[in-house]
C-alpha cells in the first residue's frame, strides 16, 4: 500500500529492488523488497537509517529513510540540460563526509567494517546533500586487532 503497488522503482541491487513509498503526506521512505534472502541480516548493518520492516510468509521488505537527492552517481553524471552543478564547496563537503563515514567504519565501530564497494552509485545524498554510504553487500567485518587491515 505505501509503495502504490510498487509503481516507482528507485533502483535494484544484489539483495532486491527498491521502491519509493509514502507513509503519510510528509514522510517518504525507500522500501527494499528482498530476493530470496537467507541469513541473519548482517549484510544490512549500518545502511541508511532503518525505519521498519515487513514480513509476510517468505516475502521480506526493509523500510529505509528516503533520501531525495538520489545517489551521487546519478547527480554528478546526469546528462543533458537538467544537469545541476554542485560547486566546489559542496563537492568538498561531500568528499569530506564520505571520508568521515569510511573513517567511522574503520575506527569508530566495535568491529571494523570494510565496505569494498565505495563508488558514487553507493553514496546517497539527503535533502542537504549530506552523503550516506549504502550498499554493504560486499562488506566484511574484521576485528580491530587484525593489524593487516
Q: Which residues are annotated as a binding site for ATP?
A: 32
As annotated, the binding site includes 32
Is residue 53 a contact partner of residue 30, using CB atoms and an 8 Å limit? no
What cell was used for 80? 543533458
Catalytic-role residue among 110, 117, 126, 135: 117
By the 10 Å C-beta count (0-12 exposed, 13-18 middle, 19+ buried), 139 is classed as: buried
Strands 16-22, 28-34: parallel, antiparallel or unpaired by DSSP?
antiparallel
Instruction: In whole angstroms, give the CA distance from residue 17 to residue 27.
Output: 20
d(CA 95, CA 131): 8
Is residue 110 among the annotated active site residues? no
Environment class of residue 34 by beta-carbon count within 10 Å: exposed (0-12), middle (13-18) or buried (19+)? buried
* Helix extents (H) in 84-143: 88-103
Catalytic residues, by residue number, are 117
Amino acid at each position: 500500500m505505501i509503495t502504490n503497488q510498487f509503481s516507482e522503482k528507485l533502483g535494484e541491487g544484489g539483495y532486491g529492488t527498491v521502491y519509493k513509498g509514502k507513509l503519510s503526506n510528509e514522510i517518504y521512505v525507500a522500501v527494499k523488497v528482498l530476493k530470496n534472502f537467507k541469513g541473519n541480516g548482517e549484510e544490512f548493518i549500518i545502511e541508511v537509517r532503518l525505519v521498519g520492516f515487513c514480513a509476510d510468509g517468505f516475502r521480506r521488505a526493509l523500510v529505509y529513510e528516503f533520501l531525495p537527492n538520489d545517489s551521487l552517481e546519478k547527480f554528478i553524471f546526469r546528462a543533458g540540460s537538467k544537469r545541476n552543478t554542485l560547486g566546489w564547496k559542496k563537492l568538498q563537503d561531500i568528499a569530506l563526509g564520505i571520508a568521515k563515514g569510511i573513517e567511522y567504519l574503520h575506527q569508530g565501530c566495535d568491529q571494523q567494517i570494510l565496505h569494498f564497494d565505495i563508488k558514487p552509485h553507493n553514496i546517497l545524498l539527503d535533502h542537504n546533500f549530506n552523503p550516506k554510504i549504502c550498499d554493504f553487500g560486499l562488506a566484511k567485518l574484521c576485528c580491530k586487532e587484525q593489524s593487516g587491515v
